[in-house]
Structure 1
């Protein structure tokens, strides 16, 4: 796709104003591409949705549901950056490329080493506000992880030597962690609510010391305890394999103060922290070209396999200390 002509075209077709500078690729997530557009009418962010993801059979229903929940967050004064609705639609399409357009906001996503306890406190309280909007007493539709790691180990041996050794070395651990995750999933309380689905630090911008959530396409219904625990681990250093228990306590305490105490059995739900297995499997598929749209994406997948495996191994090693800290 000719990106230059593409961005000129959407600026004209969507009445965003003539471009005053070339579209600029900006740091985003690991699935889609984000660009900054400067036009005669203002600044915009354009998210190009991953073409491989857009081929999934349930993708449009998932995005439609996320768009409706995004509106609900706005109605409840949650600080978010919603996708613009243009010509009656949020999701746009040009030349078979699906995308969203957002008003550009000046804010900063924190690097992992910039996150302090006060940021975790703000993030925990904000998550609780989302969870409180609407909830029902019924189990969440969170699927168990049933990856065939033996298949991936064998496939990597011939298709991607860059990940083969690590997968084979950790094969038993992966099956063990998968069992731990699925067991914990069955012990979650039967409560369902609106969940962000991806509120880690890269998707929260800070303006004047306050958080604003971006990238809301993962909004869905889920289990509040599961998301609170996963995000608490992420914000307090689990993603970079360096837990800060003061930050973890700040996140959970702020969440409980806003939401109410869920009275969790931490030992029972410890396995929820292995939810990284789902991301690992997706990136193994990218590395093996099973679910991959370009060589650039494959290289990204290979890198994410190594990073995600390290997180899973690390989380496995801190179990005793983590449970000790959570019980205090």
Structure 2
């Protein structure tokens, strides 16, 4: 199966989407929106208003679990709508959110006129708002049991060996950090085994690129990953992301604001700082995903360059996180005393 290429985004496709969903006559050419890595987003102006169209990645949709996962996410999205939380939900047409035409699965949204914040634009006020709303999300569907840690068993040696024939720079980068990759995976698995077993509603991808701001108001987007999972894991991951982890420059003051707001709004971390730190090893899965794409698996040829860039960027995060351990753990210990 091939991926969606720019040449596939024909005017006819968008005309058909607009007709199927009753959006009205298109009055200007659809424009790509930034931010989506797996799926493609477009802005669509019609006589009835402005919409955002998300074309879902065909490789993702071909996975055996795709239909079930998207159906669950839609159910949880409706729950968040009912609770009045600040999300940007997919619109419903013919009693369905997900639509299909010409081999393309897609969602349509009312366009939210906001922007995602860069790390340098994030303030303590932003962190407090997101920490608080995350606690509200985690209050939904809470259960004391149910979390089953997803233990990682990644054959880094196999990937490193195959990368030798693909890209010498990436081969050296992965080879030089082989020990760190295996160490992070081992300690991560041990830490995840110690995490609390409670589960709740989680967004599972609510970093700064998936929250759009207009002044002090914001809308949470990209809700396809909504599911019941570990609130502890998500809270810590997002505290890092909203405090500068994406730029490899964590501001501990921002992390403090995020975690304090989360705890103050009813959230709980429920384990020691060292366990929290090592449990945050999800970047390894993202690294593996992009290594596989770089190697030509589940990837259109035109997407391999972006996958290679993601390998470099993710590896930089893994190295930075390892080097920043002492500061992160010490700060967490101070924040969570009694939390």
TM value normalised by structure 2: 0.94
Is 1:321 matched up with 2:316? no
Is 1:304 matched up with 2:310? yes
Aligned counterpart in structure 2 of residue 153 of structure 1, from 138, 149, 160:
160
Counterpart-to-counterpart distance in 1, 2:78 and 2:149: 23
Aligned counterpart in structure 1 of residue 239 of structure 2, from 202, 208, 232:
232
Q: Specify the alignment match of 2:275 in structure 1.
A: 268
Aligned counterpart in structure 2 of residue 4 of structure 1, from 3, 11, 16:
11
Is 1:252 matched up with 2:259? yes
Is 1:135 matched up with 2:139? no
Q: In angstroms, what is the RMSD of aligned CA positions?
A: 1.2
Unpaired stretches in structure 1, ≥5 consecutive residues = none
- Are 1:84 and 1:102, in contact at CA under 8 Å, matched by a contact in 2? yes
Q: Specify the alignment match of 1:98 in structure 2.
A: 105
Counterpart-to-counterpart distance in 2, 1:219 and 1:140: 15
The total of aligned residue pairs comes to 327
Aligned counterpart in structure 1 of residue 35 of structure 2, from 28, 32, 35:
28
Deviations 1:58-81 (A, max 9, x none): 011000000000000111111101
Unpaired stretches in structure 2, ≥5 consecutive residues = 1-7, 335-339
Structure 1 window deviating more from structure 2 (254-263 vs 151-160): it is 254-263
Structure 1 window deviating more from structure 2 (254-263 vs 7-16): it is 254-263
Is 1:199 matched up with 2:174? no
Counterpart-to-counterpart distance in 2, 1:68 and 1:319: 38
Q: CA deviation at 1:184?
A: 1.3
Is 1:125 matched up with 2:120? no
Q: CA deviation at 1:142?
A: 4.0
- Are 1:112 and 1:237, in contact at CA under 8 Å, matched by a contact in 2? yes
Which secondary structure state, in structure 1, belongs to the residue aligned with residue 35 of structure 2?
coil
Counterpart-to-counterpart distance in 2, 1:8 and 1:87: 18
Aligned counterpart in structure 1 of residue 116 of structure 2, from 106, 109, 119:
109
Which secondary structure state, in structure 1, belongs to the residue aligned with residue 93 of structure 2?
coil
Counterpart-to-counterpart distance in 2, 1:144 and 1:165: 26
Counterpart-to-counterpart distance in 2, 1:99 and 1:251: 33
Aligned counterpart in structure 1 of residue 82 of structure 2, from 75, 86, 97:
75
Q: Specify the alignment match of 2:52 in structure 1.
A: 45
Counterpart-to-counterpart distance in 2, 1:81 and 1:125: 18
- Are 2:148 and 2:197, in contact at CA under 8 Å, matched by a contact in 1? no
Deviations 1:183-213 (A, max 9, x none): 1111111101000010000100112312210
- Are 1:52 and 1:293, in contact at CA under 8 Å, matched by a contact in 2? no
TM value normalised by structure 1: 0.97
Deviations 1:145-203 (A, max 9, x none): 22111111011111333421111111111011111211111111110100001000010
- Are 1:192 and 1:224, in contact at CA under 8 Å, matched by a contact in 2? yes
Counterpart-to-counterpart distance in 2, 1:81 and 1:98: 19
Structure 1 pair 30–287 and aligned structure 2 pair: CA distance change class (3 A): same
Point out 4+ residue stretches in structure 1 off by more than 6 angstroms: none
Which secondary structure state, in structure 1, belongs to the residue aligned with residue 58 of structure 2?
coil
Structure 1 pair 2–226 and aligned structure 2 pair: CA distance change class (3 A): closer
